[in-house]
Structure 1
Amino acid sequence: MIESWKSYRHRFMPWVLLNLKKQFKERSVELGGAELVQLKLNLKRQILEALASGVSHHTDIALKNSKIPNCGLGVFSNEVIRGNEFVTLYPGSIYYPGDSIFFQSIRNQFIFRCHDGIFIDGNNKGMSRMIFKSLTGRIGPKSRDTTWLSLKSTFSVGQIINNGGSNKFNVAYQELDFNESELSTAFLRMLPYVHFNSNAEPFPLRVVAIYALRDIAPNEELLSSYFSIDYSNC
């Protein structure tokens, strides 16, 4: 039970807020203003370039057994990843404030909370998996990318990245909102996101990108902090 809690607490939002908010507020202030706006624009550009090239597999990273005990799979670099470079997406069903997510959240370590109360359920198993497949099926065949459910696309494996604690993380999350003018229908179909509420407008589309905080060496495990704060209006 104790070991299970030690792993789960980094996904338990009240614990994260209490222990990491000050640290990441400082990080956000450090990257504030024009610098943060430019980072977001660059990440959007890199994602769109990847979609335009038809990339569904990020060759710079691979899934292997984590070096952290009892953490299962981890994400590793295959080659050098430069600082501020886009690495992968955090995929899943998008829940707006007020959407029912209680049952899906039980024993679910893969729910990402955005700064404005939007949740992204990146669990590829159980009820979460069934919900994502059902939602995409209602929209139409191949309406959204579902390869992340079987971990076949390293373009969308942000939910697998393990926690590195307060000092060992080398990647961070960045929330992005894509407008209809930025995403063609073809690009939208290649993204691993669907709204839980079928009445929700498709745009703006919330996308969570993971990017490198520094240069990452080959065969280095990617580690995050399980929390992000976004003060930019971009």
Structure 2
Amino acid sequence: MQDFWKSYKYRFIPWILMNLKREIREQSEHLRGLDVPKVKAELKDAIVTSLRSGKIRHGQIVVRKSAIPNCGNGVFSASAISKHSFVSLYPGTIYMPGDPLLIQSLGNSFIFRCSDGVLIDGNNKSLSNMIFKSIAGRLGPNSRNLSWLDLTNEIAMGQIINNGGSQKCNVAYQEIDFTESELRSTRFKLIPYVHFNTNISPYPFRMVAIYAIKDIEPGEELLSSYFSIDSS
């Protein structure tokens, strides 16, 4: 139970709110001296390119047992990753503020909280899995990417990256919103997101990118700080 809480607390909204000052402090550390608009623009270009081709760079990252005790699977670099490079997306069902999420969130350590209150359920199992498949099915055949649910899609493995704390993290999250025109050239069947509420416009279309905050050597486990969310 103690090991579960160590991981789950970073997704537990009341605990996050109580530690908001720490979030701001840790965020500022890796942003110091960073040209955020430039990095964000480069990430946006990389995501669009990936959603056209269906891959980031074949063999860049792999899933295997984490080196952190009791953490299950983790994500590892299979080749060198340069600082500020796009690594993957944090996929899942997007919940806007006010959308019902209570039942899905119980015992769910894959709820990602964006800075503006938007939530992404990156759980690939149980009720979360069924909800994603149901919504994707209603949107039509090949409307969204389902391969992230069985952990076979390099573009969407961000939800498996473990927490290393601010001292050990080598990747960070970047919230990016896309306009309809920016996504027009992509293949929607490669997008690993659905909106829980399909009666509203999905635009601006929120995605959460994971990018390297330092050069990463082959074989390194990717570690984030669950507080390192850039919304600039």
TMscore range, shorter length: over 0.9
Match of 2:126 in 1: 126
Match of 2:59 in 1: 59
CA distance in 2, matches of 1:169, 1:230: 14
Match of 1:188 in 2: 188
TM-score by length of 1: 0.92
The worse-fitting range, judged by mean Cα deviation, of 44-53 and 199-208 is 44-53
Match of 1:135 in 2: 135
Equivalences for residues 195-214 of structure 1 within 5 A: 195-214=195-214
Match of 1:26 in 2: 28
- Please tell me whether the aligned partners of residues 11 and 113 of structure 2 are also in contact (alpha carbons under 8 angstroms): no
Share of identical aligned residues, percent? Answer: 54
Matched, 1:111 2:117: no
- Aligned AA for 2:198? S
Match of 1:75 in 2: 75
The worse-fitting range, judged by mean Cα deviation, of 9-18 and 117-126 is 9-18
Q: Secondary structure at the match of 2:26?
A: helix
Match of 1:8 in 2: 8
- Aligned AA for 1:13? I
- Per the TM alignment, residue 21 of structure 1 is displaced from its structure 2 partner at its CA by 1.5
RMSD between aligned residues: 1.8
- Per the TM alignment, residue 184 of structure 1 is displaced from its structure 2 partner at its CA by 1.9
Matched, 1:86 2:86: yes
Q: Secondary structure at the match of 1:88?
A: strand
Q: Secondary structure at the match of 1:182?
A: helix
- Per the TM alignment, residue 56 of structure 1 is displaced from its structure 2 partner at its CA by 7.0
CA distance in 2, matches of 1:171, 1:188: 26
CA distance in 1, matches of 2:169, 2:138: 38
- Per the TM alignment, residue 10 of structure 1 is displaced from its structure 2 partner at its CA by 2.5
4+ residue stretches of structure 1 with deviation over 4 A?
none
CA distance in 1, matches of 2:147, 2:223: 23
- Please tell me whether the aligned partners of residues 88 and 210 of structure 1 are also in contact (alpha carbons under 8 angstroms): yes
Match of 2:160 in 1: 160
Q: Which runs of 5+ in 1 are unaligned?
A: none
- Aligned AA for 2:23? K
CA distance in 1, matches of 2:12, 2:29: 21
Q: Which runs of 5+ in 2 are unaligned?
A: none
- Per the TM alignment, residue 187 of structure 1 is displaced from its structure 2 partner at its CA by 2.4
CA distance in 1, matches of 2:169, 2:185: 35
- Please tell me whether the aligned partners of residues 56 and 153 of structure 1 are also in contact (alpha carbons under 8 angstroms): no
Match of 2:99 in 1: 99
Cα gap change, 1:26 to 1:87, in 2 (>3 Å): same
Count of matched residue pairs:
230
- Per the TM alignment, residue 166 of structure 1 is displaced from its structure 2 partner at its CA by 2.6
- Please tell me whether the aligned partners of residues 58 and 153 of structure 1 are also in contact (alpha carbons under 8 angstroms): no
TM-score by length of 2: 0.93
